[in-house]
Amino acid sequence: MFKDFNEMLRVVIILCKDLPISHQKKIGLAINACHSIVDDKDKRFRLYSSLKHIFWYNKKAIEEGFSNYLSNQRNEILKMLEYHDVNCGISIEYQNCSICSDIKQTLDNIHEEIYYEREKS
Ligand SMILES: [Zn+2]
């Protein structure tokens, strides 16, 4: 479904922004675990298995089926990011960019978990 883990990561960060903090942290742990996996496909598999736990709380994901739901979200988010990447800092002022601030906020929310796991190892 995803071209590579980096693409998946970009989509998942956007996907996470409306989730409860506890779910965001769970995804943060999964992302951290992925950093120690070498194979790109295994990384995607690992992150997807954590996403599935979270999709059980998402009515739309249950209705559409997890993999359909993720695929639809992927297409929407990548379209949005494509537009964003061209326009951010040019026609949209970087400081006022809602997408950049959403990404920053989500990364701040999950950072604590990522940091904690790194310290332990
Ligand atoms: Zn931006």
Cα 5 to averaged position of ligand 1 atoms, centre (Å): 21
**Domain extent for 100:** 5-120
Cα 83 to averaged position of ligand 1 atoms, centre (Å): 10
Q: Which of 67-71, 101-105, 115-119 has the lowest mean pLDDT?
A: 115-119
Cα 103 to averaged position of ligand 1 atoms, centre (Å): 9
pLDDT in tens, 48-57: 999 999 999 9
- Collect all residues with Cβ–Cβ distance below 8 Å to 106 and sequence separation of at least 6: 13, 14, 16, 17, 24
CB 99 within 8 A of CB 84: yes
pLDDT at 121 over 50: no
The pLDDT, as a whole number, for residue 109 is 87
The number of domains in the chain is 1
CB 81 within 8 A of CB 12: no
Cα 106 to averaged position of ligand 1 atoms, centre (Å): 14
Cα 85 to averaged position of ligand 1 atoms, centre (Å): 7
The pLDDT, as a whole number, for residue 16 is 92
Exposure b/e, 19-48, CB count within 10 A at least 16 = b: beeebbbbbbebbbebeeeeeeeebbebbb
pLDDT in tens, 23-67: 999 999 999 999 899 999 999 999 999 999 999 999 999 999 999
